[in-house]
A = this chain, B = another copy of it.
Amino acid sequence: MKTPIEFSEKQIAIINAAEKLFAEKGFDGSSVRDIAQEAEVNVAMISYYFGSKEKLMEAVFEKRTGDIRIKVENLLLDSSISHLQKVNILIDDYVDKFIHQQEFHKIMMREQMINKHNSVAELIHELKKRNLEAIRTLLSEGQKSGEFKKNIDVVLMMTTMVGTVSQMISSQYFYRKVNNLEHMDEMEFQKHMKKKLSAHLKNLFKQLITNE
């Protein structure tokens, strides 16, 4: 178990500012001076605390990756609910996390597009692998019980789940406009998205994994 690194108040301010700007304009589009101003600290503090802009990005990941791991262990033990219900809870959990941490997820999306091997790519890789294994376990339990189909392509299923939510986040302004939801405030719209996405994914996957 890796113990999470403790960050001071000022360090957290910098990390949050970086997260916001990286999500908005990308890594190269955000200057350390912009980040410093957003965090209301001197520019030199970034090098002082994190060493470099690159390392600051790693700190953003360090702070967040713990949070976005889906929780499946307790879910597996619970025998009071069906396997399909467990999958549905997982979907809710994922949609929820993604929407409430949009900014970090945007950074992840951008970073995973880059071919070049960087320190952050490896972090994303491992995170995805863990999530994939969690779902694989859950699905094979359902398969053993006969509730789920035998030949489920878990990777493709994950691709659709992650992809659908990512795409919704990325194009949420388009989605708002085309559905005439511009009157909603941010919170209201997030609730709307969450509800729609959850229902949509549950519907999609139910037909994909269950035996009719």
**Interface members, chain A 1-37 (any B CB < 8 Å):** 24-29
Q: How many residues of A contact B (CB 8 A)?
A: 44
Q: Is the CB of B200 within 8 A of A175?
A: no
Quick one: CB contact mask for A173-207 with B, threshold 8 Å, 1 for yes?
11101110000000000000000100010011001
Quick one: CB contact mask for A107-119 with B, threshold 8 Å, 1 for yes?
0011011111000
Knowing A128-B174, A174-B128, the reply to whether A113 touches B115 (Cβ < 8 A) is: no
Q: Is the CB of A163 within 8 A of B155?
A: no
User: Which residues of B lie under 8 Å from residue A159 when comparing CB positions?
Assistant: 164, 167-168, 171, 175
Quick one: CB contact mask for A121-156 with B, threshold 8 Å, 1 for yes?
000010011001000000000000000000001011
A165, CB-defined interface residue at 8 Å: yes
**Interface members, chain A 51-105 (any B CB < 8 Å):** none
A160, CB-defined interface residue at 8 Å: yes
Question: Nearest CB to that of A153 among chain B residues?
Answer: B200
Question: Nearest CB to that of A171 among chain B residues?
Answer: B112
16 further A-B contacts with Cβ under 8 Å, apart from A160-B200, A166-B166, are: A24-B114, A25-B28, A26-B28, A26-B114, A27-B29, A106-B113, A109-B109, A109-B170, A112-B174, A128-B171, A153-B200, A155-B178, A163-B166, A163-B168, A204-B204, A207-B208
